Chain A
Amino acid sequence: MSALVLGISAHYHDSAAALVDGTTVLAAAQEERFSRRRHDPSFPIQAVGYCLREAGVSLDDVTAIAYYEDPRLKFRRIAATYLGTVPHGVTSFRRTLPDWLTGKLRVRHTVARELAALGLGRVPDVVCRRHHESHAASAFFPSPYRSAAVLCVDGVGEWATTTIWRGHDDRLESVAELRFPHSLGLLYSAFTYFCGFKVDSGEYKLMGLAPYGRPRFVQQIRDNLVDVKPDGSFRLNMRYFEFLFGKVMTGAGFERLFGGPRRTPEAPLTEREFDLAASIQIVAEDIYLRLCRTAQRLTGEARLCLAGGVALNCVANGKLIQQEVFDGVWIQPAAGDAGGAVGAALAVAVERGATRGHVHTGRDAMAGALLGPAYDDDEIRAYLDSAGIPYAWHEPDALADAVADRLAEGAVVGWFQGRMEFGPRALGARSILGDPRRDDMQSVMNLKIKYRESFRPFAPAVLEADAQHYFDLKQESPYMLVVAEVSKPQRMAHDTATNRTGLDLLRVRRSTIPAVTHIDMSARVQTVNEDRNPAFHRLLTAFKARTGCSVLVNTSFNVRGEPIVRSPQEAYTCFMRTDMDVLAVGGFLLEKVDQPELREAHDWRDEIPLD
């Protein structure tokens, strides 16, 4: 090993740790997977412990700790916000300042103290990187490109909310930025909040809701809420937003503009929410695509790397790729703040002389995002035997055959194999799978497996070699961050003359793979190859051999509100609590009908807060 750097993101949301050796990411994990608290913001002590164990090292072997943002600069932004909002910010001032005075401001000291408490060796220097530098480094350094434009768009870190960079070999140069409070991420979050979803987690629900609506509020948004220049730079009209003052995102101004109070969480969705979602998606896409073109103009680069929470808007990513603005687009799979741990570590490693050796291979350096803990069959068997759980063990090929048989029969399968994914998407390591050809699969998986809202679409995983057969996809999408249209040969004629609106649109069969075809004929595609995920590739190949279909429904292995499962125990519990039929954990195949009844003292749904 050359120079190990441990990256940390913490104290806001999606805390994570990552360990890099030069520019090779050895391990990365979000704290929520260990603490079982979704979007856990606390110091990622368990994730750090995992990263060190995975590499077989202690803190004595680590040359630096890289923290993902600069707390002093962030505090200056918060202080400027207080000055700029007097006399209305006293509530926020009283609530926020104690945290800053008791630890956040002295984050280097806080991080060193937390790590020292692990008792895993001497804590090396703690260095801070700016929030958007961490995002940019996470986007460019692991990318397969020798040089590229880099665009980072999120809510806010210190001051920057949007940044443009130019990456070349081992250098990353800042080019231009937009600053708080003018934030595309916060604009989108304001609509997320107004539509009754949780900020910093419900944005993808709003994106999924957009195709159900008519974009009738676009002009109102452009006239009143955001002034967009031709290059995509913009300013928000802060008279309509409340996030400068405290906890809520919107207030009376928003209510007047959009005809009444915000939707209460869990209340029925109405046409207004559908139409608001459709409208803000169009406005956000327009800004995003303009910024991408500006990044190209300012840097002269033919390829683009993306990170920041807004880069998880896979509909906008799909439009960008469809328009072929760039020759290639690479998106950091952990584009949100968790990925800042990887970026900060890589920024420090490169600064200390690490080089991007992987570029010669033409592949990225994220290892398919499979950077979390794995459990071998001995560990899994020990757990199953100790709990008296009946199973059958199979060699890898036989396991794929057996699971493919059950999928083809209509079974819903929990698929737990190898190292856990890093980032928000399940990519075939901690996934729930189903047959996408079945009409009832979407509603079964939403309501009986995931216990989530019926409008939410499911994503397809497809053999990379067959992706063009099913989707109009202009480049690979290994991290499920690109939406593409279902290809014309897969589409089915359906009655468009009826006046179906809203959730009634779900009841139409639109393609040969209806369970993964959204109502606008789009799908959030994951392309799978043997190199990145051999076990998942083997299963897709076996399913194709039986059915002729090389697509599976792939959704995260959890229920609504719960982090994705990490361990075999969590996978078994989730399997037993839901209507999944089969669990494939390592080489072990478990049938629900063979399992003893799960006895729990309380209703587990009371223990998991809704997201």
Chain B
Amino acid sequence: MWSVFLTPLYYLVVVPAGVAARLVHDPLHRRWDDRATSYLIQTGALEKGER
């Protein structure tokens, strides 16, 4: 029952939205970055010496 509703939803809404989103940026940040020294995302205050 669900698939009757979800399959069209996927192809008519999710696929176009996903294609459009990926034209702007990858929502999953999959690309390796050789120039980056870290992939860590800072989320809070660091010790003063680390700023």
Contacts and interface: CB of A to CB of B under 8 A. Distances in A.
Contact of A179 (B11, B17, B41, B50): B41
B47 A300 contact: yes
A74 to B, nearest CB: 15
Interface in B19-34: 19, 21-22, 26-33
Nearest to A231: B38
A226 B17 CA distance: 29
Contacts of B18: 82-87
A299 B11 CA distance: 47
Interface stretch (A232-240, A344-352, A477-485, A506-514): A232-240
Interface stretch (A92-100, A105-113, A497-505, A585-593): A92-100
B30 A229 contact: no
Given A231-B40, A235-B39, A238-B28, A83 B11 contact: no
A177 interface: yes
B1 to A, nearest CB: 9
A164 B7 CA distance: 40
Interface string A294-308: 100111100000000
A90 B11 contact: yes
Interface string A198-241: 00000000000000000000000000000101110111011000
Q: Which of B7, B28, B37, B46 has most A Cβ within 10 Å?
A: B28
Q: Which of A175, A177, A179, A238 has most B Cβ within 10 Å?
A: A175
Contacts of B42: 175-176
Interface residues of A, number: 42
Interface size class of B (residues with CB under 8 A): 35 or more
A376 interface: no
B41 A178 contact: yes
A229 B7 contact: no
A174 interface: yes
B30 A181 contact: yes
B43 A174 contact: yes
A298 B32 contact: no
A259 to B, nearest CB: 24
B14 A82 contact: yes
B47 A298 contact: yes
B45 to A, nearest CB: 7
A94 B3 contact: yes
Contacts of A86: 14-15, 17-19, 22
A166 B7 CA distance: 45
Nearest to A83: B18
A213 to B, nearest CB: 27
Contacts of A85: 18
A52 to B, nearest CB: 36
A87 B12 CA distance: 11
Given A176-B42, A178-B39, A83 B2 contact: no
Nearest to B2: A98
A233 B49 CA distance: 20
Interface in A182-198: 182
Given A181-B30, A233-B38, A175 B43 contact: yes
A431 to B, nearest CB: 40
A229 B10 contact: no
A176 B39 contact: no
B44 to A, nearest CB: 4
Nearest to A182: B39
A177 B32 contact: no
A231 B27 CA distance: 24
Contacts of A180: 28
A244 interface: yes
Nearest to A164: B40
B28 A244 contact: yes
Contacts of B31: 235
A83 B22 contact: yes
Nearest to B28: A84
A80 interface: yes
Contacts of B10: 82, 89-90, 93-94
Interface in A281-324: 294, 297-300
Contacts of A163: 43
Contact of A230 (B7, B11, B19, B37): B37
Contacts of B19: 86
A97 B6 contact: yes
A177 B40 contact: yes
Given A83-B21, A84-B27, A177 B43 contact: yes
Contacts of B43: 163, 174-177
A234 B21 contact: no
Interface of A: 80-87, 89-90, 93-94, 97-98, 163-164, 166, 173-182, 227, 229-231, 233-235, 237-238, 244, 294, 297-300
21 contacts: A80-B27, A82-B14, A86-B14, A86-B18, A86-B19, A86-B22, A90-B7, A90-B10, A97-B2, A98-B6, A173-B44, A176-B43, A177-B40, A179-B41, A229-B36, A229-B37, A229-B39, A230-B38, A231-B40, A235-B30, A298-B50
Given A83-B18, A230-B38, 6 more contacts: A86-B15, A163-B43, A164-B40, A176-B43, A177-B41, A235-B39
Sorted nearest first, the 8 A-B pairs with minimum C-beta distance are: A86-B18, A233-B39, A83-B18, A80-B27, A84-B28, A174-B43, A227-B32, A233-B40
